[in-house]
A and B are shown apart, each in its own frame.
Chain A
Amino acid sequence: EAGVAQSPRYKIIEKRQSVAFWCNPISGHATLYWYQQILGQGPKLLIQFQNNGVVDDSQLPKDRFSAERLKGVDSTLKIQPAKLEDSAVYLCASSLVTSMNTEAFFGQGTRLTVV
Chain B
Amino acid sequence: GNSVTQMEGPVTLSEEAFLTINCTYTATGYPSLFWYVQYPGEGLQLLLKATKADDKGSNKGFEATYRKETTSFHLEKGSVQVSDSAVYFCALSDSGGGADGLTFGKGTHLIIQP
Contact = CB atoms under 8 A, between A and B. Distances in A.
A39 to B, nearest CB: 10
Interface stretch (A65-73, A78-86, A99-107): A99-107
B101 A45 contact: yes
Interface of A is mostly: loop
B99 A31 contact: yes
Interface residues of B, number: 23
Interface residues of A, number: 29
Interface in A81-115: 91, 93, 95-104, 106-109
B44 interface: yes
B89 A42 contact: yes
30 contacts: A31-B99, A33-B101, A40-B107, A42-B104, A42-B105, A42-B106, A43-B44, A43-B102, A45-B102, A45-B103, A48-B100, A56-B100, A56-B101, A95-B97, A96-B99, A98-B95, A99-B95, A99-B99, A102-B95, A102-B96, A102-B99, A103-B46, A103-B49, A103-B98, A103-B99, A104-B98, A104-B99, A106-B43, A108-B43, A109-B43
Given A45-B101, A104-B99, 4 more contacts: A45-B103, A99-B97, A103-B49, A107-B43
Interface of A: 3-4, 31, 33, 35, 40-45, 48, 56, 91, 93, 95-104, 106-109
